[in-house]
Amino acid sequence: MINFDIPQLKHTASDNFFLMAGPCAIESEEMALRIAEKIVQITDKLEIPYIFKGSYRKANRSKGDSFTGIGDEKALKILEKVGKTFGVPTVTDIHESQEAAMAAAYVDVLQIPAFLCRQTDLLIAAAKTGKVVNVKKGQFLSAGSMKFAVEKIVSEGNNKVILTDRGNTFGYQDLIVDYRGIPEMKSFDVPVVMDVTHSLQQPNQSTGVTGGKPQLIETISKAAIAVGADGLFIETHPDPANAKSDGANMLQIDLLEDLLVKLIRIRKAVNF
């Protein structure tokens, strides 16, 4: 469980895992509020601590004409509105050092993308904001090597660090999850999250559009909870097929509650 305070995070006394969930990218205010409202209803009912996730901009795209966002300030203001409307913390990615302070003015958690997890200047800039910093493990790194990312952030006097696994590169167009990494990263005394949906991506497709295996979302989620993950990261959308980013591996939002109910049962069983 999270071992530090995150503003607005509810149900922290619960024995449940926490959840980071929302759309891949902020597509519109209406869509963000609609998704947040649905997830808040579910997580309040199940007493799951919840952080709304949405990228204000997508910097890592295969094709130059892929959707990247609706405008930085516009998207960040939508994230801020989601947080204030529903009383939940919010998380978004940052990509360059100068973005840290800008994004920190609107959200509660700054996320470091997997491909950037070794960028020292970026980690330091995020740490200096005083916000919680969620660092995704690079697909190319071992779990053990993530201790250095933790050390960089803590060296700036910020011990509010979360590590998130999102699978390991397996050949050119697939990822696999090594569940040994979850307890290994937990040994660094930080909360560890499983990014379920991104671990099911099939990157580097010849079409320039990343594929995915959303039918395995339940499998990856169950295994992560069974081996002790403190939280789950799940991108979800009312209509994944028409989402503007990463729809191929998203969870249909109508399936979320049933999945979470199953995962709570597993959590209770392994904590017995």
Please write the tens of the pLDDT for every residue from 35-84. 999 999 999 999 999 999 999 998 765 566 677 779 999 999 999 999 99
Rounded distance, CA 99 to CA 112, Å? 11
Name the least confident of 111-120, 179-188, 204-213.
204-213
User: Reduced to 3 DSSP states, what percent helix, strand and coil does the chain have, rounded to the nearest 5?
Assistant: 40, 20, 40
> Are 91 and 85 spatial neighbours (Cβ–Cβ below 8 Å)?
no
Nearest to 209 by CA among 77, 87, 24, 66: 66
pLDDT score, position 237: 95
| DSSP string covering 191-206 | -EEEETTGGGEE---T
CATH topology (fold) of 18-255:
TIM Barrel (3.20.20)
Cα Rg of the chain, angstroms: 17
Written as one letter, the residue type at 70 is: I
pLDDT at residue 249, rounded to an integer: 84
CB 123 within 8 A of CB 112: yes
How far is 255 from 238, CA to CA, in rounded Å? Answer: 10
What are the extents of the domains in the chain? 18-255
Average pLDDT over residues 139-162: 97
Write the pLDDT tens digit of every residue in 241-251. 888 877 788 99
The pLDDT of residue 261: 98
